[in-house]
Amino acid sequence: MAIERWRPFVSVERWDPFRNMSDIQGEVNRLFDSFLGRPTAASPASGVRMWAPVLDMHETKDDLVLNFELPGVREKDVSLSITGDLLTVRGERGFDRDTKDETTHHIERVYGKFERSVQLPMPVQADKVKATYRDGVLEVRLPKAEEVKPKAIKIDIL
């Protein structure tokens, strides 16, 4: 059942309480993206959005391990760099489908260039980094610097 707003001397317009919800959702998303430091659209008119892959980070006894989700990205389209305590993953997810003979109704996945920079919580040995890419997940293993690794100290009992 829809509620119709009555306006004297004006045409009847169907009232839709959710008419501007998508605008509100877009504004809330933009607010959170800017607050969290995620790259936002280059320009709203261009329709091109930058995106940043999600990240899981954990630590083992010897390594700092970062896992980036990169679904639909080919290994050759990903680059990794370390500058000081900042690790940066860059790349691009291409839109490979030909849509000339199709009518697209909805696309939520973001295509195009991406970049994600992560400040490392501890010193690492940048020359011994190992990265593997499997099933859309980039795993980066950063060996901890020697001064960060815990050392056992023997206590002499007198």
Residue 74 lies in a domain: yes
SS (H, E, C) the chain: CCCEECCCCCCCEECCCCCCHHHHHHHHHHHHHHHCCCCCCCCCCCCCCCECCCEEEEECCCEEEEEEECCCCCHHHEEEEEECCEEEEEEEECCCCCCCCCCCCCCCCCCEEEEEEEECCCCECHHHCEEEEECCEEEEEEEECCCCCCCCCCCCCC
Residue 30 lies in a domain: no
At residue 88, φ and ψ (nearest 5 deg) are -125, 130
Q: Residue 61 is part of a domain; what is its CATH number?
A: 2.60.40.790
Question: How many folded domains does the chain comprise?
Answer: 1
- C-alpha to C-alpha distance for 123 and 87, rounded to whole angstroms: 12
Residue 157 lies in a domain: no
Residue 54 lies in a domain: yes
The pLDDT score that the predictor gives to residue 19 is: 66
Mean pLDDT of the chain: 80
The pLDDT score that the predictor gives to residue 148 is: 66
Residue 22 lies in a domain: no
Residue 105 lies in a domain: no
The model carries a pTM of 0.62
**Range(s) of the domain holding residue 137:** 49-96+110-143
Residue 33 lies in a domain: no
22-74 pLDDT tens trace? 677 777 777 776 666 555 544 444 455 568 899 999 999 999 999 999 998 99
The pLDDT score that the predictor gives to residue 27 is: 75
62-79 pLDDT tens trace? 999 999 999 989 999 999
Read off the pLDDT band of 124 (50, 70, 90). Answer: very high
When comparing pLDDT for 115 and 35, which is higher? 115
State the Cα torsion 24-25-26-32 to the nearest 10°: 110
